[in-house]
Amino acid sequence: MNVRAFLPLFLVFSWLATACGGAPQTVEATGTPDPCAPENIKAEVEKIHRWMREFDDASVLAANTPRERLNPEIAALQAIRRSAEDQAVPVCLRDLKAYQINHMNTVIDTLIAFVGGTANQENMNQGIARARQLHDQYTLEMARLLGITVVANTPTP
């Protein structure tokens, strides 16, 4: 057989294979980086934590505000909570966000019950304890995500 006869056939098949994607091609990674990758997780956690820091600051202010002037403080806490709720997060941070939102809701609900006079002292204490527990869970989850060891701050006798 003559090699010259196969050359045009080879070129046609070669062209068809490349046109149809049959030949291996090199593809450069141009997608967005994985937010859950170890090198990106800290920046992603900080996006969520900024709302918690702001909420914590507003909570301290609310806790030191007289009952009759708490409504604007509660509204500010609700606005922070809505911003935190609206923030999209990657799958790896869903638990962190859930602890955050549950904590915020508990603080707000407890303050509303206090302002409305619908909660007795036991209910108030339970709300405060639940809010602390959720904040602790949030802190532990954040530490886990960042690879940080949390040391309990217990008073010495």
Report yes or no: 109 and 58 within 8 Å, Cβ to Cβ. Answer: no
**Residue 14's pLDDT band (boundaries 50, 70, 90)?**
very low
Read off the pTM: 0.74
119 pLDDT above the threshold of 60: yes
148 or 118: which leads in pLDDT: 148
User: For the chain, what are the domain ranges?
Assistant: 35-146
Does the CA dihedral 141-146-148-154 come out positive or negative? negative
Q: Give pLDDT tens digits for 35-68.
A: 888 888 999 999 999 999 999 999 999 999 998 9
What is the per-residue pLDDT for 35? 87
Mean pLDDT score of the chain, rounded to an integer? 82
Report yes or no: 93 and 84 within 8 Å, Cβ to Cβ. Answer: no
How far apart CA 81 and CA 108 sit, in angstroms, is 9
